[in-house]
C-alpha cells in the first residue's frame, strides 16, 4: 500500500461518528434550518396556488371561446343569420320579379313585332284571314298591330286608285288621298270596314262632309253601297253646284273600278245605283211629288231635242223617250213619284244616266 492510500484510509469516518455529529447539532443552526424549510414550503404552496388559479382562468377562457353547440343554439344562429339578411333577400326577390316581368314584356313585344312583320309581308288572302281572326273573332292583338292590319287590308281594296296618286295622308289619321278625292277608312260597331269619300268643292268657301258610301263586310264577303249617299252626290252636283260634271264622271268611274276589283277578290257587290257593269232596268222611288212645273220643264226640253219625245201613258203617268233607245217612265203616287229607268243596251250607272240627262234630275233630287 502506498502512502497516499494509507492517508485516504485513515480519513474514512465511522458511522458512529456521523451519528454523533448529527446528534450534536447546534440549536441555533437547527432553528435557522427550520425557518428556511418553512419558507421554502410556503413559497412552493404559493406557486401551486398561482398555477392552479392560472389553470382555472385558462379553462374559463376556453369555455367562452368555444361554447358547447346544441340543436337550439344552431337553430337560433340560423334564424339570426336569416334576420340579418332579410333586407338583402327581399332585394333579390324584387330584382327577380322585375327581371321576369321584363322578360315577359320583351317576349310580348317580340311576338307583336313578328305579327306586324307577317302582316307587312302578306297579300290580300292572308290579310283577310288575319282580319277574320283578330278583328272579327277577337283573338288577342296589340292596338298597333290592329291598326296596321286594318290599314294594309284597306290598301288591298283601294289598289285601283294607284293610277291617280293613292297615298296615305300626311295630315289626317286613317285617310288615303288621291289627286281627285280622299278616302277615310274606319270600323263600325260590327267591325265592318267603312269607306267615306270627300271631294274638293268647286268653291272653297263651301265644304261638304265626307260621304259615307261603302260598307265592306269581310265576314259575309259582301259590299253595300249606300244609295241615299249616291243621290246626295247627285244633289251636290246638280242642285247645290259644289261639284263639277268632270268630278262626278271621274268619281263614278273610279268607284266602279273599286267595285270590280272587289269582285275579283271574292266579294259580292249588292245592287247599287253606282254599278255601271250592266244595263239599267231600275225602279226608283222619289220622295218628291210629281208637280206640273216639273212636267212642263221636262216637256219643253223633250220637244226642243229632235231625238227626244214625251208621251202620256195614262192619268198622272208619262214616258220620256231618249236617244240610243233609252227611256224614263214616271207616275204620280200621292206626294211621291215612281220612276222606271231603262238604259237600252248601254251599261250605265244612275249617276251616268243623270249626267247625260240632267233635265230629268228634278224628278229625283231638288233643292230643299
Write down the pLDDT at residue 207.
87
* Pairwise CA distance, residues 254 & 298, whole Å: 31
* Pairwise CA distance, residues 321 & 305, whole Å: 11
pTM exceeding 0.95: no
Q: Which three cell numbers stand for residue 134?
A: 283578330
Q: Is residue 69 predicted with pLDDT exceeding 90?
A: no
Strand arrangement of the beta sheet that strand 309-314 belongs to:
279-286, 336-347, 327-333, 317-321, 309-314
State pLDDT tens for residues 228-246. Answer: 999 999 999 999 999 999 9
Q: Is residue 277 predicted with pLDDT exceeding 70?
A: yes
Which of 129, 321, 118, 294 shows the shortest CA–CA distance to 218?
129
Which of 285, 287, 257, 259 shows the shortest CA–CA distance to 272?
259
- Which residue would you say has higher pLDDT here, 162 or 18? 162
Q: Is residue 32 predicted with pLDDT exceeding 90?
A: no
Average pLDDT of the residues in 145-153: 96
Contact 348, 280 (CB under 8 A): yes
Average pLDDT of the residues in 300-305: 94
* Pairwise CA distance, residues 269 & 260, whole Å: 9
Average pLDDT of the residues in 95-109: 91
Write down the pLDDT at residue 55.
53
Q: Is residue 251 predicted with pLDDT exceeding 90?
A: yes
Per-residue pLDDT band for 21 (boundaries 50, 70, 90) equals very low
Domain annotation for the chain: domains and CATH numbers? 157-277 (no CATH), 278-368 (3.30.160)
- Which residue would you say has higher pLDDT here, 74 or 38? 74
Write down the pLDDT at residue 366.
83
* Pairwise CA distance, residues 15 & 365, whole Å: 173
Question: Measuring CA to CA, how many Å separate 150 from each of 145, 223, 353?
Answer: 9, 16, 35
Spatial CB neighbours of 309, under 8 Å, sequence gap ≥ 6: 302, 320, 321
* Pairwise CA distance, residues 312 & 363, whole Å: 16
Q: Of the ranges 14-28, 176-190, 241-255, 313-327, which one carries the lowest mean pLDDT score?
A: 14-28
Residues 262-290 as b or e (16 or more Cβ within 10 Å = b): beeeebebeebbbbbeeebebebebeeeb
Question: Percent of the chain scored above 90 by pLDDT?
Answer: 64
Bridge partners, 184 (sequence order): 175, 196
* Pairwise CA distance, residues 139 & 295, whole Å: 59
* Pairwise CA distance, residues 44 & 355, whole Å: 144
Contact 354, 360 (CB under 8 A): yes
Write down the pLDDT at residue 70.
64
Write down the pLDDT at residue 86.
80
Q: Is residue 38 predicted with pLDDT exceeding 90?
A: no
Contact 337, 330 (CB under 8 A): yes
Average pLDDT of the residues in 200-210: 89
Q: Is residue 46 predicted with pLDDT exceeding 90?
A: no
State pLDDT tens for residues 166-203. Answer: 999 999 889 999 999 999 999 999 999 999 999 999 98
Gyration radius (Cα) of the chain, Å? 59
Per-residue three-class SS string for the chain: CCHHHHHHHHCCCCHHHHHHHHHCCCHHHHHHHHHHHHHHHHHHHHHHHHHHHHHHHHHHHHHHHCCCCCHHHHHHHHHHHHHHHHHHHHHHHHHHHHHHHHHHHHHHHHHHHHHHHHHHCCCHHHHHHHHHHHHHCCCCCCHHHHHHHHHHHHHHHHHHHHHHCCEECCCCCCEEECCCCEEEEEECCCCCEEEEEECCCCCCCCCCCCEEEEEEECCCCEEEECHHHHHHHHHHHHCCCCCCHHHHHHHHHHHHHHHHHHHHCCCEECCCCCCCCCEEEEEEEECCCCCHHHHHHHHHHHHHCCCCEEEEEECCEEEEECHHHCEEEEEEECCEEEEEEEEEEEECCHHHHHHHCHHHHHHCCCCC
Average pLDDT over the chain reads 84
* Strand-strand pairing, 211-217 and 317-321: unpaired
Contact 206, 189 (CB under 8 A): no
Q: Is residue 4 predicted with pLDDT exceeding 50?
A: no
Amino acid at each position: 500500500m502506498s502512502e497516499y492510500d494509507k492517508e485516504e484510509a485513515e480519513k474514512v469516518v465511522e458511522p458512529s461518528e456521523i451519528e454523533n455529529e448529527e446528534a450534536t447539532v447546534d440549536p441555533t443552526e437547527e432553528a435557522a434550518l427550520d425557518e428556511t424549510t418553512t419558507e421554502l414550503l410556503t413559497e412552493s404552496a404559493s406557486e401551486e396556488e398561482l398555477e392552479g388559479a392560472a389553470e382555472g382562468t385558462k379553462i374559463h377562457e376556453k369555455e367562452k371561446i368555444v361554447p358547447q353547440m346544441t340543436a337550439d343554439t344552431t337553430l337560433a344562429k340560423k334564424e339570426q343569420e336569416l334576420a340579418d339578411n332579410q333586407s338583402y333577400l327581399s332585394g333579390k326577390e324584387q330584382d327577380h320579379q322585375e327581371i321576369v316581368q321584363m322578360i315577359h314584356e320583351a317576349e310580348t313585344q317580340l311576338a307583336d313585332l313578328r305579327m306586324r312583320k307577317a302582316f307587312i309581308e302578306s297579300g290580300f288572302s292572308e290579310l283577310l284571314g288575319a282580319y277574320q281572326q283578330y278583328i272579327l273573332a277577337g283573338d288577342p292583338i296589340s292596338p298597333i298591330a290592329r291598326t296596321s292590319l286594318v290599314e294594309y287590308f284597306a290598301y288591298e281594296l283601294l289598289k285601283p286608285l294607284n293610277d291617280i296618286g293613292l297615298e296615305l295622308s300626311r295630315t289626317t289619321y286613317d285617310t288615303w288621298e288621291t289627286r281627285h278625292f280622299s278616302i277615310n277608312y274606319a270600323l263600325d260597331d260590327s267591325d265592318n270596314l267603312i269607306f267615306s269619300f270627300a271631294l274638293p268643292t268647286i268653291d272653297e268657301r263651301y265644304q261638304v262632309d265626307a260621304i259615307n258610301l261603302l260598307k265592306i263586310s269581310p265576314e259575309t264577303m259582301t259590299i253595300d253601297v249606300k244609295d241615299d249617299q249616291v243621290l246626295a252626290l247627285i244633289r251636290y252636283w246638280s242642285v247645290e253646284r259644289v261639284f263639277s260634271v268632270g268630278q262626278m264622271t271621274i268619281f263614278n268611274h273610279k268607284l266602279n273600278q273599286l267595285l270590280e276589283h272587289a269582285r275579283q277578290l271574292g266579294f259580292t257587290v249588292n245592287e247599287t245605283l253606282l254599278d255601271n257593269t250592266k244595263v239599267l232596268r231600275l225602279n226608283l222611288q222619289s220622295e218628291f211629288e210629281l208637280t206640273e212645273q216639273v212636267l212642263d220643264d221636262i216637256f219643253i226640253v223633250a220637244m226642243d231635242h229632235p231625238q227626244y219625245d214625251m208621251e202620256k201613258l195614262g192619268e198622272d203617268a208619262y214616258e220620256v223617250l231618249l236617244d240610243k233607245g233609252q227611256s224614263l217612265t214616271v207616275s204620280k203616287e200621292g206626294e211621291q213619284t215612281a220612276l222606271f229607268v231603262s238604259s237600252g243596251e248601254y251599261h250605265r250607272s244612275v249617276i251616268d244616266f243623270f249626267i247625260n240627262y240632267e233635265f230629268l234630275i228634278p224628278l229625283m233630287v231638288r233643292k230643299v
